[in-house]
Amino acid sequence: MDTFKDIVKQTEHVVKTLGTRWLKDAWKNEREIGEVLGLLSDAESRDVYSREIMWCFLSTFLKGQLAASMAGMMTQAKWQASIIATVQNNIHPEIEAPASALGTLNYSKTATFTLGQYRYGDKVMPRKGDVCLDLGACYGDTSLWMLDQGAAAVHAFEIDPGTREFLAGTLAKKPEYGRIQVVPKAVTDTSGELYLVTNDYNPGASCITRQKPATGSFATIAATSLDDYCREQDIRPDFIKMDIEGAELDAINGAESVFTDCRPRFAICIYHTPEHRWQIPLRLAELCPDYDFYVKKSHPVFETVFYGRPR
């Protein structure tokens, strides 16, 4: 599927098959979706992105897994087989996490190591000697994966204090893990202070907000822009990963100099809000006009990533 109309035609076919009326507002982002399709550098990415948009349309009236199946996404059976393979391979068993989060850790390991969520083949990935930024480090699986690829240094941003304790325990186990620097700050468009809304069930889903929450568990947290952070640390990142629960676009807007001057390779999640599926790619295309772009999905419903590399 190479155009927005191709996506609509296929989705309408599925909807008619189900006997459900097509949504009239499906066309409201036709221009943006078409522009993203035009940015993508290979047929595989265009196919994945088209199915992602189909899933967005279908999931408005079907349950997530059913919509994913109708859109031709990864099957639940393949995902479960990938988790089993991850557990059997015992990947980085030294990573610490609370007993209540072992399922979350195996999920993350499966996406990161078994399915390669933050790499696009050999085209977009960390390389030997790279300075890497890991935004949304959680228990450290992606930071360790970056070291596995040969990264010289990793700056691991993690906002949840409980998660950072486990991350510190992991990094103390091997001398080479000293190349990972934990940064207890949120990343957004401007430096300052924000509110951290914690998720006790899944710390990896803790998020930041500018508005003081009326209820729930929250705390204030220091925030930085990537432009400010990289200037203060005197670093030029080579590879950037972002999985920060919907704060990706703000982080990109605070990294204009990083993207235009340092020209890093990147792997940035675009699935946390529907509009991020076109807003993030189009913003990055503005900042990186001479890049190749790709899309891949590493889960039946979630984990959709937009990749870029300089030409």
User: Where residue 215 sits, what CATH number does that domain have?
Assistant: 3.40.50.150
If asked whether residues 177 and 260 sit together in one domain, one would say: yes
Question: Percent of the chain scored above 90 by pLDDT?
Answer: 66
Answer yes or no: is 180 within a domain. yes
Q: Is residue 146 part of a domain?
A: yes
CA-nearest of 54, 56, 50, 59 to 11 is: 54
pLDDT higher than 80, residue 272: yes
Tell me how far apart the alpha carbons of residues 85 and 273 are, in angstroms, rounded to a whole number. 30
Average pLDDT rounded to a whole number, residues 77-99: 94
Q: What is the pLDDT of residue 250?
A: 95
Instruction: Confirm whether 98 is domain-assigned.
Output: no
Residue 152 located in a structural domain? yes
CB 297 within 8 A of CB 267: no
What is the CA 149 to chain-centroid distance, rounded? 18
C-alpha to C-alpha distances, 307 to 7, 121, 128, 302, nearest whole angstrom: 21, 11, 19, 16
pLDDT of residue 131: 98
Give the Cα separation of 67 and 27 in Å (integer): 19
Give the integer Cα–Cα distance in Å for 106 and 85: 10
Tokens, residue 285? 């295309």
Cα–Cα separations (whole angstroms), residue 295 to 76, 91, 137, 193:
20, 25, 21, 33
- Tokens encoding 7: 């996506």
Q: Is residue 288 part of a domain?
A: yes
CA angle 250, 251, 252 (to 5 degrees): 90
Q: 203 with 268, same domain?
A: yes
- Sign of the CA dihedral with 306 first, then 93, 76, and 203 last: negative
Q: Which two tokens stand for residue 41?
A: 């550098």
Task: Say yes or no: 59 and 186 in one domain.
Answer: no
Whether residue 199 lies inside any domain: the answer is yes
* In a shared domain, residues 182 and 306: yes
- Round to the nearest angstrom and report the end-to-end CA distance of the chain: 25
Whether 197 has a pLDDT exceeding 90, the answer reads: no
Whether residues 175 and 273 share a domain: the answer is: yes
Of the three residues 14, 44, 70, the one that is the final residue of a domain is 70
Same domain, 64 and 124: no
11: in domain: yes
Query: What are the tokens at 47?
Result: 């196919």
Please tell me the predicted confidence (pLDDT) of residue 202: 56
The Cβ of residue 99 has, within 10 Å, a number of other Cβ atoms equal to 6
Residue bearing tokens 């690829």? 149
What SS3 class is residue 180? strand
Predicted confidence (pLDDT) at residue 10 exceeds the cutoff of 70: no
For residue 128, tell me if it sits in a domain.
Answer: yes
Same domain for 21 and 151, yes or no, is no
- Write the single-letter amino acid at 36: V
Q: 22: pLDDT confidence band, cut at 50, 70 and 90?
A: very low
Is the CB of residue 84 less than 8 Å from the CB of residue 66? no
Please give the average per-residue pLDDT across 225-240, as a whole number. 98
43 with 148, same domain: the answer is no
> Are 175 and 296 contained in the same domain?
yes
How many domains does the chain fold into? 2
Same domain as 235, residue 135: yes
Same domain, 149 and 296: yes
- pLDDT surpassing 70 at residue 179: yes
Range of the domain at 151: 118-310
Nearest-Å Rg of the Cα atoms of the chain is: 19
Q: What is the DSSP letter of 120?
A: B
Last residue within a domain, chosen from 70, 85, 106: 70
pLDDT higher than 80, residue 5? no
**Residue 140 binned pLDDT confidence (cut-offs 50, 70, 90):** very high
Looking at the structure, tell me whether residues 220 and 276 fall in a common domain.
Answer: yes
DSSP state, residue 258: I
